[in-house]
Amino acid sequence: IKTGFIFDLDGVIVDTAKYHYLAWRKLANELGFEFTHEQNELFKGVSRKRCLEILLAIGKIKATQEQFDSWMIEKNVDYLAYIENMDVSEILPDVPKVLDYLKHKNIPIALGSASKNAKPILEKVNLLSYFDVLVDGNNVTKAKPDPEVFLIAAKQLGVKPCNCIVFEDAVAGIEAANAAGMISIGIGDAEILNQAKYNFKDFTEISLSFLDTLIIE
Ligand code: B16
Ligand code: MG
């Protein structure tokens, strides 16, 4: 088999965006300003450091390096408390259907996420064993839309980038997949993810016969 599949985490496998939102909102409120759901959209697929930079710009707050570092830690401690109780019920619809099908066909599977918390989350929702390769925020130097995360994943899978299929919910992630020369599949709003090669609202819309069309044996 020459094909590899790469999954983003937040927004594709689980909806951790809601927990990121709660943790960022708590910090914003402590610093004296509001942080809305709409503003949280800007944070999807974006690294933790970049998220804090955007948050401080929204609140018009200038931080010392020391404050910046301590707020990064504070947000993550709060986020970890939210994800502590995650379980299999938080897996997004029909994700196991797709993972099972690929596993059963012996197709290599990678995670390509910006999160530094990816592994504990996959453990909590009991999906870690599906993944042959994990590339996350701990392994990259350049954040999406840079293709680095997906190129490392392809290399570790032993699959050519042009034979990799990427599932992504964020604009920056679709851009990263396209820049890597991979086949991008947008999960979510097709208007927002209009640079994707294919678009689906979620995995319930993805048929096994569609997956077959992507697989080169
Ligand atoms: P952490 P993904 C991304 O995950 C999230 O979409 C983004 O909102 C978050 O800031 C980023 O991970 C970093 O997460 O703080 O856990 O390292 O969509 O790339 O799986
Ligand atoms: Mg995502």
191 CA to centre of own chain: 19
Radius of gyration over every alpha carbon of the chain, rounded to an integer in angstroms: 17
Q: Which amino acid is at 100?
A: D
CA separation for the pair 103, 191 (Å, rounded): 31
How does DSSP assign 106-155, residue by residue?
A: T--EEEE-S-TTHHHHHHHTT-GGG-SEEE-TTT-SS-TTSTHHHHHHHH
Nearest to 116 by CA among 136, 145, 134: 136
Per-residue pLDDT at 94 exceeds 90: yes
Instruction: Tell me: pLDDT of 1 over 90.
Output: no
Q: What confidence score (pLDDT) does residue 166 get?
A: 98
pLDDT tens digit sequence for 118-167: 999 999 999 999 999 999 999 999 999 999 999 999 999 999 999 999 99
CB atoms within 10 A of CB 189: 13
Ligand 1 atom nearest to CA at 118: 16
Distance (Å, whole) CA 200 – CA 15: 16
Residue 146 catalytic? no
- Does 202 participate in catalysis according to the annotation? no
What pLDDT is recorded for position 65?
98
Which ipTM score applies to this complex?
Answer: 0.95
For ligand 1, say whether the CB of 137 is within 6 Å of any of its atoms.
yes
| CA distance linking residue 121 with residue 18, whole number of Å | 14
Q: How far is the CA of 113 from the centre of ligand 1 (A)?
A: 7
H or E stretch covering 186: strand 183-187
- Token pair for 76: 């993550």
Chain-centroid distance, C-alpha 3: 20
Q: How far is the CA of 61 from the centre of ligand 2 (A)?
A: 27
Residue tagged active-site, from 10, 87, 136, 212? 10
Percent above pLDDT 90 for the chain: 98
> Rounded to an integer, what distance in angstroms lies between the CA atom of residue 43 and that of residue 61?
18
Ligand 1 in reach of 50 Cβ (< 6 A)? no
- DSSP-derived secondary structure for 85-112: T--GGGBPTTHHHHHHHHHHTT--EEEE
Q: Could you give the percent of the chain with pLDDT greater than 70?
A: 100
- 198-200, strands of its sheet edge to edge: 133-135, 109-112, 4-7, 164-168, 183-187, 198-200
